[in-house]
């Protein structure tokens, strides 16, 4: 190796270490230290050097996560130690019996010691995998299989960004067999299903199927395109000079090696603690960014694991405490077709009410006509309905053995069910739409509801019922008309007294002062959500420049691709939309110039922010993404270096700690005002 090659080799080594460190802080600690653009620059530089010097490429280079060609077939491989399943309990009494049996076997009742320590971990609803590291290098990843042998899915697991290709630290084990759960986060699952549905492809039934199906792809490039995550929860074989004595030490050691563990795990000192944690997590379940279906309790001391051993299928020192089922049987009473604000016609199943996932469910989405036909849902069918978190309930499948012999397939309507306009399907789309536009009352109602919603123009008091009355009375035909309403007109509405009408007029006046981002989002441009609206406002800095931009200029915006660019261009090219925007500006809607956004970025750049509690206006992941784009560093823990805490509902101990340290706290209302400035 000559001098020039040595210099390149040294730079490549530095780049690999830097990228690996940034992967750890971003994907494992959730505390990025550099902007995405800087990370992309480092990766591009490494790829360039490796392409010029291919002999220097190694298997654990960050550039080698995704293979370039599919494998021929899945091979079976053996686990070094069995991957056992878990026995389940479904109520408090069964868990107390489990605890009593363990204490009897350990001899605790005859001794002075009356309680045992447990580690409680959320039971993720994903796909179990077994990873093998040798001298710190990932050499094999496999599915659970029958517990002794699974399928080799190394090529797919390598594509998951939070899986280290090489363990961190200098004192890594010579051999580590580690168990984890691959899952698809809720927001990733929803976005992926929406994307494939629009392309006419089959969406995943649930996040568990999404994770399992993604691992069983012959082509790793397909897996890499799917938003997979992983949490590690235990070890099989472990060859190291320092052996942990407790399961809590195992989790801490895995984290130290750069392996991501679930942040919700807790050490419990009694079975009563376990029951309290169950109640806590059951309430928090829907606000978590991933699906869980229960809690796993494991005895903490590893010597107890060895003493108790395992049955043929499950360890005796662990149990899964399952949450109530989120899938139930019910009957389809009718299938109706709803019209959305963009004219999309969506089939909705009306169900015989059933209690599932903690609520009574009487409606379930069928997504689109293709999905309705694929699942072959008919009136009178017995179906399995699923509800997960805040996701709209959906039909999992029809139980066809209960189908009536005279049942008939549901037919697609030939005209819009609301305005009887023609319906059609644009090229390349699977969604059927009403062509009536704002002539359609349903589209008018939905467009105005979206325009006045909290994350758009935020017109307090203009709810669904009020909008329905205004549209049906022909007092409003579009968003601009809401600013022409008088106190007298509003006072005559059902359940709208003079005081409520006056409050609504005041709210309408207040909503006129907004931001370009909120205004763009409020317009309801197809495929333009809050993130894209923010990117457009930052890039063009004025509505006028955006409206005349061609598709080539639109694609320059980071969040905009070819399809979104075409949608934006089409929207601003239509005369009716130009008239609507002019009417809104004439009504008095305005926003400050872009300098306020730049001030916000300077103020938040490099600042450390902690999110705590449940946000109602957006998910925690969305809030984190916005904060990072504003230049902030988002962390999970309060410390003296924390600059700001954003507290949603039930903020808990973090807010108390922040107050004791004198750290500034913003509630959700203040956070939304902060975004208005941005």
What is the C-alpha separation between 295 and 475, in angstroms, rounded?
Answer: 53
Cα–Cα dist 621/430, whole Å? 29
Q: Please report whether residue 411 resides in a domain.
A: no
CB contact burial 435-468 (16+ within 10 A = b; e otherwise)? ebbbebbbbbbbbbbbbbeebbbbbebbeeebbe
Same domain, 219 and 131: yes
Q: Is residue 41 part of a domain?
A: yes
Burial class (CB in 10 A: 0-12, 13-18, 19+), 408: exposed
Residue ending a domain, choose from 322, 338, 371: 322
* Cα–Cα distance for residue pair 647/658, rounded to 1 Å: 10
Do 264 and 201 fall within a single domain? yes
CATH number at residue 280: 3.30.470.30
What CATH number is associated with residue 492?
Answer: 1.10.150.20
User: Nearest to residue 144, comparing CAs of 136, 153, 135, 155?
Assistant: 153
Q: Are residues 362 and 447 in the same domain?
A: no
* DSSP label of 118: E
Q: Are residues 345 and 383 in the same domain?
A: yes
- Domain contains 428: no
382: which strand partners?
331
pLDDT at res. 582:
93
**Residue 442 near residue 418 (C-beta atoms within 8 A):** yes
**Spatial separation of the C-alpha atoms in residues 468 and 465, rounded to whole Å:** 5
What are the Cα distances from residue 447, in Å, to 94, 339, 473, 668?
A: 51, 11, 17, 25
Q: Supply the pLDDT for residue 605.
A: 65
By residue count, the chain amounts to 678
CATH of the domain at 40: 1.10.287.610
CA atoms within 13 A on the CB side of 675: 29
Identify whether residues 483 and 521 lie together within a single domain: no
> Do 449 and 532 lie in a common domain?
no
On whether both 120 and 259 belong to a single domain, the answer is yes
Contacts of 54 (CB under 8 A, 6+ apart): none
pTM recorded for the entire structure: 0.54
CA distance 628 to 20: 20
Q: Count of alpha carbons within 13 Å of 609, Cβ hemisphere only?
A: 25
**CA dihedral sign, ordered 402, 407, 413, 417:** negative
Phi–psi pair at 355, nearest 5 degrees: -90, 115
Crossing angle of helices 668-677 and 595-604, in 10° steps, is 130
Whether residue 430 is contained in a domain is answered as no
The DSSP letter of residue 28 is: I
Residues 522 and 498 grouped into a single domain: no
Last residue of a domain, one of 35, 64, 93: 64
Residue 78: inside a domain:
no
Residue 587 is encoded by which pair of tokens? 């009504």
C-alpha distances (whole Å) from 192 to each of 126, 157, 187, 390, 510 are 16, 19, 8, 17, 37
Asked whether residue 528 is domain-assigned, the answer is yes
**pLDDT tens track for 139-162:** 999 999 878 889 999 999 999 989
Tell me, yes or no, whether 301 and 447 share the same domain. Answer: no
In which domain, by residue range, is 648 found? Answer: 595-677
CATH code where residue 348 lies = 2.40.50.140
Q: How many domains does the chain have?
A: 6
Count of CA atoms in the C-beta half-sphere (13 A) of 435: 8
Longest CA–CA span in the chain (Å) reads 87
Residues in the chain, pLDDT under 50: 389-390, 594-599, 601-602, 677
> How would DSSP label each residue in 139-165?
EEEEE-TTSSEEEB-HHHHTT-TTS-S
**Same-domain check for residues 521 and 617:** no
Q: For residues 488 and 496, is the Cβ–Cβ distance under 8 A?
A: no
Same domain as 245, residue 346 = no
Residue 575 covered by a domain: yes
Catalytic residues: 123
Q: Given 485, 511, 537, which residue is the final one in a domain?
A: 511
Q: Each residue of 209-249: pLDDT tens digit?
A: 889 889 989 888 889 889 999 999 999 999 887 889 999 99
Supply 218's token pair.
């012959």
Same structural domain for residues 169 and 231?
yes
Residue 73: inside a domain: no
């Amino acid at each position: 190796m000559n001098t020039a090659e040595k210099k390149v080799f040294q730079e490549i080594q530095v780049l690999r270490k830097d990228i690996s460190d940034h992967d750890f802080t971003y994907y494992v600690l959730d505390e990025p230290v550099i902007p995405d653009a800087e990370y992309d620059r480092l990766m591009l530089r490494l790829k360039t050097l490796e392409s010029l010097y291919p002999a220097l490429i190694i298997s654990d280079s960050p550039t080698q996560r995704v293979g370039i060609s599919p494998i021929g077939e899945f091979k079976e491989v053996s686990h070094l130690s069995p991957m056992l399943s878990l026995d389940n309990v479904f109520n408090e009494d069964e868990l107390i019996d489990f605890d009593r049996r363990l204490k009897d076997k350990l001899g605790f009742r005859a001794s002075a010691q009356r309680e045992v320590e447990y580690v409680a971990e959320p039971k993720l609803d994903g796909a179990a995998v077994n990873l093998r590291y040798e001298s710190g290098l990932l050499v094999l990843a496999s599915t659970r299989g029958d517990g002794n042998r699974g399928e080799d899915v190394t090529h797919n697991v390598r594509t998951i960004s939070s899986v280290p290709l090489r363990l961190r630290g200098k004192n890594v084990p010579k051999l580590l067999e580690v168990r984890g759960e691959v899952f698809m986060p809720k927001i990733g699952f929803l976005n992926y299903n929406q994307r494939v549905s629009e392309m006419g492809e089959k969406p995943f039934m649930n996040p568990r199927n999404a994770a399992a199906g993604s691992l069983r792809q012959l082509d790793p490039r397909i897996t890499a395109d799917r938003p997979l995550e992983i949490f590690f929860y235990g070890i099989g074989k472990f060859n190291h000079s320092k052996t942990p004595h407790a399961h809590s030490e195992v989790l801490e050691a895995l984290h130290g090696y750069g392996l991501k563990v679930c942040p919700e795990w807790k050490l419990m000192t009694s079975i009563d603690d376990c029951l309290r944690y169950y109640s806590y997590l059951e309430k928090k379940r829907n606000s978590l960014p991933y699906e869980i279906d229960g809690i796993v309790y494991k005895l903490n001391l590893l010597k107890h694991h060895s003493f108790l051993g395992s049955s043929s299928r499950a360890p005796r020192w662990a149990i899964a405490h399952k949450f109530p089922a989120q899938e139930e049987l019910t009957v389809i009473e009718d299938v109706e077709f709803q019209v959305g604000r963009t004219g999309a016609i969506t089939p909705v199943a009306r169900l015989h009410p059933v209690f599932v996932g903690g609520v009574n469910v009487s409606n379930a989405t069928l997504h689109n006509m293709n999905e309705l036909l694929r699942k072959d849902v008919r009136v009178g069918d017995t179906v399995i309905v699923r509800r997960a978190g805040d996701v709209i309930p959906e039909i999992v499948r029809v139980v066809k053995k209960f189908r009536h012999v005279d049942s008939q397939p549901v037919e697609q309507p030939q005209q819009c069910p609301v305005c009887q306009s023609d319906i059609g399907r644009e090229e390349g789309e699977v969604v059927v739409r009403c062509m009536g536009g704002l002539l359609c009352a349903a589209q008018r109602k939905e467009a105005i509801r979206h325009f006045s919603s909290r994350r758009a123009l935020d017109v307090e008091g203009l709810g669904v019922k009020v909008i329905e009355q205004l549209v049906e009375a022909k007092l409003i035909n579009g968003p601009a008309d809401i600013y022409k309403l008088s106190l007298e007109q509003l006072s005559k509405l059902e359940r709208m007294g003079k005081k409520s009408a006056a409050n609504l007029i005041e709210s309408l006046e207040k909503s006129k002062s907004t931001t370009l981002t909120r205004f763009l989002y409020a317009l309801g441009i197809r495929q333009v959500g809050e993130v894209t609206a923010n990117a457009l406002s930052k890039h063009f800095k004025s509505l006028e420049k955006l409206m005349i931009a061609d598709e080539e200029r639109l694609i320059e915006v980071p969040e905009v691709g070819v399809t979104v660019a075409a949608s934006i261009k089409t929207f601003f090219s239509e005369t009716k939309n130009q008239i609507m925007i002019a009417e809104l500006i004439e009504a008095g809607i305005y926003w400050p110039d872009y300098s306020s956004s730049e001030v916000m970025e300077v103020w938040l750049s490099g600042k450390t922010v902690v999110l705590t509690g449940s946000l109602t206006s957006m998910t925690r992941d969305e809030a984190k993404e916005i904060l990072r784009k504003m230049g902030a560093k988002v962390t999970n823990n309060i410390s003296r270096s924390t600059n700001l805490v954003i507290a949603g509902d039930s903020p808990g101990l973090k807010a108390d700690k922040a107050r004791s340290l004198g750290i500034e706290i913003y509630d959700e209302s203040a956070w939304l005002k902060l975004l208005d400035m941005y």
